[in-house]
Amino acid sequence: FALEVASRFGIEYFEHLTEAIFAGEICVVVFRTCAGLPLGQIWKISSTPISQTEPYMILLGGGIGLLGAGVAFLWANFHWRLMDFFRVLGLLDDENTYAVPRILLGACGVVVISMLVPQTMFWGEWEVGAIATLAPASELPHVWPTAGLIGFEMDSCRNCIIVGVCKLLVISFTVAGGYRGGYIFPFFAAGAAFGRALTFAFPELSPVIATLCFAAGITVAI
């Protein structure tokens, strides 16, 4: 993300890659030390760690990342159409004359979807762990009632895809409604759901590789 910001000023990614990695490591150490947290992964996706990396895993991760990029392409096309819809309604004027109707329309999309699929609520940082591990809805943080209106659970490939699609829809309605926030963690949540869908279709696939590579593919593409 930091490299993307720098690239907007004409700087290529590779020109500051080393500095970005070094600065990132310092930030992690300082933050976790001040917060009293151990150095380690943010989310524990699988109880079985990957002991060593094999060459095929790199190719596999690249392929899954391309799937994520394809999903990002589809989302981008939908999002611009949704923005056009808001524009046709006259809600995107530069003076924010109709800011309240715009916010309400965006909120309607977010709230309706979230009540049916509670895994899509909020920005995703705390929800990714539950999504990536297929945890029951009762373990969702900051959500009450956690089961939503229909008791939705991520217990099948289809339901994982539904979570991924709905999360992307929620992101689009959030942005179109003018709410502040970023894309990174929400896209990671969607990518984790799509990655878990792959593990249902291919049980031998590592949940760690599937979720993180799919999430990275979507985020980088956008």
pLDDT in tens, 115-130: 999 999 887 778 888 8
Residue 176's SS3 state is: helix
CA dist 43 → 97, 114, 160, 190, 215 (Å): 42, 22, 18, 15, 13
* 187 token code pair: 């896209």
Would you place residue 76 in the very low, low, confident or very high pLDDT band (cuts 50, 70, 90)? very high
Q: What is the mean pLDDT of residues 65-93?
A: 94
Distance of CA 162 to the CA centre of its chain: 14
Distances (CA, A) of 64 to 19, 142, 195: 28, 30, 8
Q: How far apart are CA 128 and CA 207, in angstroms?
A: 13
Beta strands in the chain (DSSP E): none
The 10 Å Cβ neighbour count of residue 147 is 15
Single-letter residue type at 74: L
- The predicted model gives 187-198 an average pLDDT of 94
Token pair listed for 47: 């109880």
Question: Could you tell me what percent of the chain has a pLDDT over 90?
Answer: 49
CA nearest neighbour of 218 among 181, 171, 173, 176: 171
3-state helix, strand and coil shares in percent for the chain, rounded to the nearest 5: 65, 0, 35
Phi-psi region of 205 (alpha: psi -120 to 50; beta: other; left: phi over 0): beta
- Cα separation, 191 vs 218, in Å, equals 7
What was the pLDDT predicted at 123? 76
17-63: pLDDT as tens digits: 788 888 888 988 998 899 888 877 777 777 677 767 788 888 999 99
The full length of the chain comes to 222
